Amino acid sequence: MDKIINVLSTEQLSIGYKSRSKITEVAHNINISLQDASLYSVIGVNGSGKSTFLKTIAGLIPTLSGDVFCYENNIKNMSARDLSSLVSCVFTGFPDLGLMRVFDVISLGRYLYTGFTGRLSVDDQDVVNGIISILDIEDLSDKYFFQLSDGQKQKVMIGRALAQQSKIILLDEPTAFLDFQNRVAIDLLLRQLVDNLGLTVVVSTHDINNALKISDKVLLFSSDLRVQTLNPKKEEGLSLIERTFANQNIIFNRSDTSFSIKL
């Protein structure tokens, strides 16, 4: 039997924001263990802490209390460079990249390896070309980023994260502004990155129907500040998800594990 590897875990983690006048806690007592080669969807109502959680485990904002471990190393003791070699991020929205072409945007993910000059070696170029092939966007390689559709731009941003060659990718609402076809395409791409490349993908989403279908586990953020790891294919997990999101206007269909409008 293959050994289970926990690539990221938390202990008694509380997350939120500090200001001069107060501390705003959005979730507490988070104890999770994320395994390699798995897809985790982070779901919950607005304001429950999903984005804050991703930024915290990425080391971008400090914990309120508790700890985050990446490959058993406390991220508080890791340099930004060392953490970036293990964890890459794709956050909501697209940066203003001026007249950069697709190849160059993906190449930005090689900054860990190119040094101050940013000059790509032959190996770096091979990595970028390999990612372009994986994403099936060879026809876009020489296009300017601003010329792309939103769905194409999101693929390129995922490509930039892949160029870091980290084993963990965190994505915050990557399909939020995409049409139905592109949402499905991105979700299937994330599943393929797990199945074909052995990556661990953690993605926050409001598209619960797709999340239940593509995920190995879901992290449910509740309004009572709790976080629970659930199996979307087991009755206990489905029951809790149904209680969280169903109401007089929304029904949960057990046959295909999807929510729909009650007419």
Residue bearing tokens 């979307």: 232
- Encode pLDDT of 31-63 as tens digits: 999 999 999 999 998 889 999 999 999 999 999
Residue bearing tokens 């779901």: 43
pLDDT at 90: 97
Mind listing the domains of the chain with CATH numbers?
A: 1-86+167-263 (3.40.50.300), 93-165 (no CATH)
When pLDDT is averaged across residues 67-74 and rounded to a whole number, the result is 97
DSSP 69-121: EETTEEGGGS-HHHHHTTEEEE-SS----TT-BHHHHHHGGGHHHH-TT----
Residue bearing tokens 């953690």: 202
Q: Which residue has the higher pLDDT, 223 or 222?
A: 222
Spatial contact of 53 and 221, defined as CB atoms under 8 Å apart:
yes
Spatial contact of 10 and 52, defined as CB atoms under 8 Å apart:
no
- What is the Cα–Cα distance from 215 to 190, expressed in whole angstroms? 10
The whole model's pTM is what? 0.95
- Encode pLDDT of 149-203 as tens digits: 999 999 999 999 999 999 999 999 999 999 999 999 999 999 999 999 999 999 9
